Homo-oligomer: A and B are copies of this chain.
Amino acid sequence: MRTFRTAIIGAGFMGRTHLEALRRLGSVEVAGVAAATIDEARALASPFGIERIETDYKLLLDDSSIDAVHVCTPNAMHFDVAAAALAAGKHVVCEKPLATNSADARKLVQLARQSQLRQLRHATNHNLRYYPMVQQMRALRESGELGEILIAQGTYSQDWLLYDTDWNWRVEARDGGPSRVMADIGSHWCDMAEHVTGLRITSLSADLQTFHKTRKRPAGPVGTFQNKISTPGVSEDVSVDTEDFGSVQFHMGERTRGAFTASQVSAGRKNRLSIEIYGTKSSVAWDQERPDELWMGHRNSANRVMIKDPSLLEPSARSYADFPGGHSEGYDDTFKQVFRRFYQSIADPAAKPEYPLFDDGLRQLQLVEAEIESNRSRRWVEIRS
């Protein structure tokens, strides 16, 4: 396979995660890093011998030797960077949410469609689909093992913003967009529920709550998840305009029903995306805090618990597990799985994309906006697809 030259825009937690995952693919050379400050860019690039660092990402887009761009900036910049990258003829992997509103996301989908002439590939990084066990759930549904899907339920719960002294740029709508919990993690849950069931959420009722109406913003910047190990310093009180918690009821067509909650204030839950899918024949349940385990529920026989093992996975899920049975693969491995498939699809323009597109990013923004609207109106909202 030919080797691709890639630039990473954004040097925070996500930029670092993308870089390390790309290094695990032989076919991709990370050729440049852009960040808000040159020190941030250097901190990420230097240990890997990446020489090109920039504060103006457009300079990287102007480099015709660069094939692809990974957008890892704060959410509010996603639209501008992704649009410019497509315009510059780059393949684009954009972190989620694709934009901070569905109108922008729709424009990106349109730009991506126009770029098809130039065979540009686009992905929204809903990476959590790519745990081997999530693929196994999908494969079991596709093979008919679950029967008809009746219920999808679960939660995505974290605790890193439990206290009013916890801060991150996502707290302010200005940087993160009007929704926080639902856009950041609720969207992962919905993306997984739709990916696994193969069904679409058609209407929903949402109830959002901002427990901390005011939070203490520190003087300096705070990286995502870094607040918990920082030492507190000078701070100022800031009104919070994004939600800490939400619950959603939903329909998937006439028959299937569902519900989930999302929270960043649930003490003790570090990164618990729990999803349960109940069908007429059997059911599946999975928890991101134990990613290598899959529970399968049965009515007339014992339940099953599978420890990740390529020899036990359905054929379509097997290629998502790179290590033998019981040799755990983690959160970081999901990025490798997405990116491998992304670059394979660049190498083979005839290949069908096996990763989430900009369209999937748009989809999740439409759901988030429906949740905001439902919360405001206290009514069920139909999803226009």
Which residues of A pack against B, CB within 8 Å? 1, 3, 13, 17, 20, 23-27, 46-50, 150-151, 153, 155, 158-160, 162-163, 205, 207, 209, 211, 224-225, 228-229, 245, 247, 249, 251, 255, 257-259, 261, 263, 265-272, 276, 278-283, 288-312, 322-333, 378-380
Alpha-carbon separation in the docked complex, A325 to B303 (Å): 13
Given A306-B303, A324-B225: A207 touches B268 (CB 8 Å cut-off): no
- Whether the pair A306, B311 counts as a contact (CB closer than 8 A) is no
- Whether the pair B333, A332 counts as a contact (CB closer than 8 A) is yes
A375 to chain B, nearest CB (A): 10
- Whether the pair A245, B257 counts as a contact (CB closer than 8 A) is yes
- Chain B residues, CB < 8 A from A295: 268, 305
- Whether the pair B150, A211 counts as a contact (CB closer than 8 A) is yes
Q: Which 9 A-B pairs have the closest CB atoms?
A: A268-B297, A271-B326, A270-B326, A26-B48, A225-B324, A270-B325, A228-B311, A328-B330, A247-B259
Q: Which of B283, B308, B310, B329 interacts with A266 by CB under 8 Å?
A: B283
- Chain B residues, CB < 8 A from A308: 270
- Chain B residues, CB < 8 A from A257: 207, 209, 245, 247
A249 to chain B, nearest CB (A): 5
Instruction: Give me 13 A-to-B residue pairs in the complex whose CB atoms sit less than 8 angstroms apart, sorted by A's number.
Output: A150-B265, A151-B263, A228-B300, A259-B261, A265-B278, A267-B297, A270-B326, A290-B290, A291-B328, A301-B312, A327-B332, A329-B332, A330-B330
Q: Which of B150, B279, B309 interacts with A270 by CB under 8 Å?
A: B309
- Whether the pair A302, B301 counts as a contact (CB closer than 8 A) is no
Inter-chain pairs besides A27-B49, A268-B282, 5 sampled, C-beta below 8 Å: A267-B281, A268-B283, A289-B326, A305-B305, A332-B333
Residue of B nearest to A324 (CB): B225
Q: Which of B47, B258, B276, B301 interacts with A27 by CB under 8 Å?
A: B47
A338 to chain B, nearest CB (A): 15
